[in-house]
Structure 1
């Protein structure tokens, strides 16, 4: 076993998780989540069905008409997927509470390639279909097509969308800073806006007075309405209402700083331990940066705290913001909270700066003495951020707390320290009740992947694993 920290449970009574039917709550949330994801994917089929039901089914009389109609269907489905992606990017509270930020991002990314391929197919099939009808080759058809109303905007929209999708590829995305990648992704909004005019003016598919025109205009209004409301209006209103400023900073280790915040009615933010906000610090050198950072302490009525590690120029600059700096926020986001529990017990493993959402999670979570087991992992003593606070919370709530310090083992599970691997420490040995536990993981992505793989090898169901990765 790794080193155990002796805990002395507070004599106060804590509510037992047996009083809450976590499994029943999980089943209800899972059904809502699956229904939401299915409906998002099925919306593409609905777009095609509406076209076919509105006369499109009769436009397959010749080969040229068939190719052209297939191009129209591909464009409608692709556009539908793009609008769904915008809805997922809007960070709507209902979607965040139902499937969580991580799954919403995963569905958003999963839709990006099909959407691009469908839109590319849309353009290629229309060029071929129109070329077959007019008796000229598809490349020569580009000239007459550009002469149609609003078509130059459509070609620009396609170029912008290709740029956005390419920068979303993992190998390319890692070459960008978060701010640079975010700026490029703003082009997706411009792309959709540029594509709309040609839908309404070209081809007669969305002719005035048709049900399709009403449907698609409504879909655009919903997508952009959600974006404007939840990405711009609501964050501005929330920031003005809570009036958050920097109250001070504390260096807790070389390159790691806690930023203490003050504000008005911060409990009104509705933040749970384990969630994160998008923070913007209004100084001359940081105002254009937005930072997704987890809380490291649950907000009180007037205070909150985040802890930042200097991993780049952006995070280094916000670590030195002066007292009194105004802060704007978006959030809270994420399901890395007690609300995600499905089982009567809790297992928690955190490494490095990954202890920050874990510390807030422990502050907020409700469990009885003996129901939670915590393992804190660090490569060196200098990386034991907030460990004293976590030990105090563990002691107060009657949780077992183990610590593991040392470089990672080169044999066996690569996430365990070398010393503990030689002693035969295992995941199952440290957490004997893992099968009946929710496993919360947070830390560097490569390390976390190893822990998650080790956990899956024990047979724990995927829905009992909750991983918070510090990537985007």
Structure 2
């Protein structure tokens, strides 16, 4: 049976440090928020207003937390992974939605009771105050984002449209901060509460601006990325080769991805997350995309020499997180791109098994490259085809055990659609694969 080496134990410890730091941040800030609520400078007008204040305090903190989750902080992203951060971002977003519903509802109920008015009559009464009106507008923007994030609506929107709608999060934050500064009683209680909220918002907004604006601008100015070649892989799949200056300084790893823009060819707000489909060699980068949305379909028409603006590298689906000697690489559809790069990575040593799920062999992107790499690395490659049905469940517990009997003693890397990721995760848990050995990224990225 394989055992983890001390060096690899230290690597898994990097994730533990990130989790502990995040939990400590949550607990410390929640304690501060609870103390603010328990010891207000001015008492609430009535019980309903007090409940509204309670929800408002937590809403302010959760909004700041949401900014940190989308700031792409390297400390968290490299240790925890974009997939988990995106999942937390989603649930935090819905928490914000319900707090946005509850906070103004109870506040208006409290004021309606105080003014002896109906709930509906109190709405225009409060909306006449500018800070309150800004808070209402921010709440409306939150509702729009929540509505477009529901799975039914999400399936009907193109990725580009969904991403553009979610850019209103920045306007929402500005309005919410103004509302809190001028209207929030907890914010204005005393010098200590003001110092806390200003520090929290400065940290969250500063992290967002640094991770999403300043660092990408500096990196792209330094590396000057350009399209070097566009290679069709099939009727609906294309690879784009990118070159630039000092690419070895990017510290990109096989299994990671970038957010890609092509200024001049696409609009500035059209950005897509595509994985590296080849292990980075310090001289060039390669992305491979399937024509699903407007941007990915237009990659075939990219002229050589087109400027490239890339944010990254991101993702923890790398050999750096290994804990065991043996490895299983699982891919579904275009999710083969980071898996193919990992198979090429010399840092991924030991016995390797590749499970590639595709509808047919003709749909298996980069299959010839995979076969060549598998032969070179001495890896076993299994192409799992056919329509999923009761009779064909390639990632059921029984099938995974049959394909890889010692899977519980291996690291498992997986990239593919969310339903497939969920099926694989259920089977891995049933087979006793520990969480530290599961490295999964699904197609559910956030803004």
Could you say whether these structures have the same fold, taking a TM-score greater than 0.5 normalized by the shorter chain as the test? yes
2:441 counterpart of 1:460:
no
Deviations 1:214-267 (A, max 9, x none): 211222222221221111121111111111101111122221111111111112
Q: 1:345 to 1:210 in 2, by over 3 A?
A: same
1:117 equivalent to 2:104? Answer no
**What is aligned with 2:406?**
433
The verdict on how the C-alpha distance between 1:41 and 1:331 changes in structure 2, with shifts beyond 3 A counting, is farther
Q: Find the aligned partners of 2:359 and 2:179 in 1 and give their Cα distance.
A: 57
The corresponding residue for 1:381 is 361
1:127 to 108, 112, 133: 108
Q: Is the 8 A contact 1:277 1:329 kept in 2?
A: yes
> 1:210–1:409: structure 2 CA closer, same or farther, 3 Å change rule?
closer
State whether residues 77 and 115 of structure 1, in contact with CA within 8 Å, keep that contact through their aligned partners in structure 2.
Answer: no
| CA shift in 2, pair 1:32/1:95, >3 Å | closer
String of CA shifts for 1:97-133, please: whole Å, max 9, x gaps.
2321111111111122222222222112111222222
Write out per-residue CA displacement over residues 407-429 of structure 1, whole angstroms, 9 at most, x where no aligned residue.
2353445237xxxx9xxx93212
Q: Distance in 1 between matches of 2:279 and 2:115?
A: 67
* CA displacement at 1:18 relative to structure 2: 5.6
**2:394 aligned partner:** 415
Deviations 1:350-379 (A, max 9, x none): 23322210111122352444x222233433
Distance 1:362 1:17 in 2: 22
Residues 307-331 of structure 1: CA distance to partner in whole angstroms, max 9, x if unpaired? 1111233211023201000000111
Alignment-derived partner of residue 12 in structure 1: none
Equivalent-residue separation in structure 2 for 1:18 and 1:343 (angstroms): 5
Secondary structure of residue in 2 paired with 1:414: coil
C-alpha distance in structure 1 between counterparts of 2:73 and 2:411, whole Å: 26
Residue-by-residue CA offset, 1:394-446 (whole Å, 9 max, x unaligned): 34434x32232542353445237xxxx9xxx9321221220111111223443
Change (3 A) 1:210 1:66: farther
By how many angstroms is 1:41 displaced?
6.6
1:42-61 alignment, distance < 5 Å: 43-55=29-41, 59=43
Report deviation, 1:202. 2.7
**Aligned equivalents of 1:342 and 1:413: distance in 2?**
31
Write the distance in 2 (CA, Å) between the matches of 1:17 and 1:258: 38
Unaligned runs of 5+ in 2: none
8 Å CA contact 2:40, 2:189 repeated in 1 = no
What residue ranges of structure 1 are gaps of 5+ in the alignment? 1-15
Residue 416 of structure 2: aligned partner = 443
Q: Provide the secondary structure at the position in 2 that maps to 1:69.
A: helix
- For 1:454 and 1:308, locate their aligned partners in 2 and report how far apart those are by CA, in whole Å: 28
TM-score of the two chains, using structure 2 as the length reference: 0.91
Using structure 1 for the length normalisation, give the TM-score. 0.86
> Residues 160 and 294 of structure 2 are in contact (CA less than 8 Å); yes or no, is this contact kept in structure 1?
no
Q: 1:25/1:300 Cα in 2 relative to 1: closer, same or farther (>3 Å)?
A: closer
How many residue pairs get aligned? The number is 444
User: How big is each residue's C-alpha offset from its partner over 1:288-315, in whole Å with a ceiling of 9 and x where there is no partner?
Assistant: 4211000011222321111111123321
**Distance in 2 separating the partners of 1:252 and 1:271:** 23
- The structure that has the greater radius of gyration is 1
**Mapping of residues 49-448 of structure 1, within 5 Å:** 49-55=35-41, 59=43, 64-202=45-183, 204-207=185-188, 210-285=191-266, 287-364=268-345, 366-369=347-350, 371-398=351-378, 400-404=379-383, 406-408=385-387, 410-415=389-394, 426-448=399-421
